[in-house]
Structure 1
């Protein structure tokens, strides 16, 4: 999954918008999660904590600030990063690719397969965010950025398995930047293909409604862009060899825009409107996407003929208290849906059950504690064998 996370965490027009990202991640559970528009290391660590709550095997690359030329614009608050399931992948290296405007970030991943010692399989993941906005000048900057990338890719072996993911900000396939990526006659060492097989003039063209990613919003006040659903800006592309390489290739017809029901009525609408309804993505998913970012994520499935070397079981945290464990009025809990909890109980320090709460596999539960006396309390569940969580009520 690739996702433009909209100036996370500095964009705060939507209160507590992390909860919407957590709902999205819990639903899709990407093995590799690539992002752009990450502001700072605090935001990077916040997302990692949310992922590790779902699966402790998630790790991230080292957060790095943009190093590219700041003459055009100060881009040091918009970073790229990759998160990954470390039971399936090892991060072998990470490299900054400088350009005229913003960095590309190269993450070399190795599949954790049984055969990895004698026949390792690597994926070279490039995460990017090209210059935004229409107009000839911005097209030229996007093209110059891609030329910087191509110069770097020409130093890699021609048979490298490359995944290029990012917010390209291109309006049509005829833009020089996009043509530079896909043109097999330009003598590039590595050419890219569109796994969605939807190359064309995307802007304001309902023939491409199924691959449109921006904007999820029509109203102002949420941060980011408005104007409704009419552009394909976000991509996951692969090197040509990943169409047929049995060791690592993309699954045909697996490219999807997460949250996009391919409903033509969605054109120019907000993604959480009834015009964007469909069987694949229900309202609560589309509403979370609407509230978190002005872009939709894009996803792609990869397949290998090697045997993954996975642990049979992993331990996940079933529930946790969000914020301080010293409570005045409201106790907020975050639950891992994998635990499939139905009820939790609150006990006093004598072990007596004070309250039973129906959680119904919720992601968040808020319980009013204003009527309870000051003291120490414990949270347990008969459905789990775990150490009770302790909190203190102090009005």
Structure 2
């Protein structure tokens, strides 16, 4: 009786702790440099995969995505690292038809579907390029009674210096601001993109952050690095472009001297306990904040430091002329599947070396509905319906010899690996 009472107390303690859990989300924005059409660097994808493997984002936002093939290629790579990753629907740019019809640079978002639910996606047109709005809901135990939404907006403003380009950037931002007027003023908004601004005083940037302009949504810089960034080593830690000094790789050269890439949040996300950014979590991925890196290539020894290795910096150099920017968000809600992350949801009956029949024992607390079998490329080979059973027996006789992985969209657990050897 005493043992049962102790067990009950322990369960209650863990349940109580779960109610007050905090969950952090890792988000990343990256200008992927005309992916996949830019082919000056052979096998570029391997470098992106090294970057994604190192950071493992829960939300991954991109610009300069050329086509749906590129979108699917990145999704495949992400799903190999985390089978729960999904993407929004790929959509071609609809803006700028009356200017240059340069509709080969698109935005997209990828997300961990065990942590977020994509509620909607909307194209916001402008004079030059679309803004893409993705409304996410945190997949929490409280989502039915107290849903928490995050409005992710991905953009790519007009490039180049000069008053004419500044005016185009401002007009694009004004189109976004007008669209945001329709959102509730307490919306949790994350704006990520390649802004192409050279200083905080540029009208487009001021339109976003100036609290005196009576905007419905005002943005803040989580990095707290507002200033004149161009050619100013005081802002070396937030510089994102260019990663290169020599030609022949595609994209811009000239070395590290600009802050073009940003993640901004609405003001309320500084203090909102339901979803806020983590203080001091804003980072430029690959930037060691080494002042010697100014005007140098990111993979040079001048850019070395404790945070990012030469391996990662070389991958960044070879993949894009920009560096990604990252930020962590935090919620006080409890993810709906969080309680299962430490459970052994599935285990093999016998060995994980399979001849003809795969046998699994399932943890009933996990309440699995389906499991999937993936090959070593992350491709789904077979989906198995659980049907409230505690055991699965599945024939492997038609599958080729090799390594496979068992996953479930309902869990965040590490995939189980097994080998088919007939």
TM-score, structure 2 as length reference: 0.77
5 Å matches for 1:1-80?
1-80=28-107
Deviation readout 1:254-282 (Å, 9 max, x if unpaired)? 00000000000000000000000000000
Q: CA deviation at 1:70?
A: 1.9
Q: CA deviation at 1:322?
A: 10
- Look up the match of 1:138: 165
Partners of 1:178 and 1:156 lie apart in 2 by 20
Quick check: 2:401–2:419 contact (8 Å CA) kept in 1? no
Unaligned runs of 5+ residues in structure 1 are 324-376, 391-395
Quick check: 2:53–2:81 contact (8 Å CA) kept in 1? yes
5 Å matches for 1:272-283?
272-283=299-310
Structure number with higher helix proportion: 2
Alignment partner of 2:229 out of 202, 215, 226? 202
Partners of 1:273 and 1:318 lie apart in 2 by 39
Unaligned runs of 5+ residues in structure 2 are 1-27, 346-370, 380-399, 405-415
- Look up the match of 1:182: 209
Residue 260 (structure 1) aligned with residue 287 (structure 2): yes
Partners of 2:288 and 2:336 lie apart in 1 by 35
Quick check: 1:106–1:126 contact (8 Å CA) kept in 2? yes
Residue 388 (structure 1) aligned with residue 420 (structure 2): yes
- Look up the match of 1:305: 332
Aligned in 2, Cα 1:206/1:252: closer, same or farther, shift over 3 Å?
A: same
Residue 104 (structure 1) aligned with residue 131 (structure 2): yes
Aligned in 2, Cα 1:389/1:140: closer, same or farther, shift over 3 Å?
A: farther
5 Å matches for 1:103-122?
103-122=130-149
Alignment partner of 1:269 out of 296, 311, 317? 296
Alignment partner of 2:376 out of 315, 320, 324? 320
Partners of 1:389 and 1:91 lie apart in 2 by 40
- Look up the match of 1:352: none
Partners of 1:235 and 1:72 lie apart in 2 by 26
Quick check: 1:378–1:389 contact (8 Å CA) kept in 2? yes
Partners of 1:388 and 1:226 lie apart in 2 by 48
Quick check: 1:163–1:239 contact (8 Å CA) kept in 2? yes
Quick check: 2:80–2:377 contact (8 Å CA) kept in 1? no
5 Å matches for 1:328-343?
none
Partners of 1:215 and 1:389 lie apart in 2 by 49
Quick check: 2:239–2:260 contact (8 Å CA) kept in 1? yes
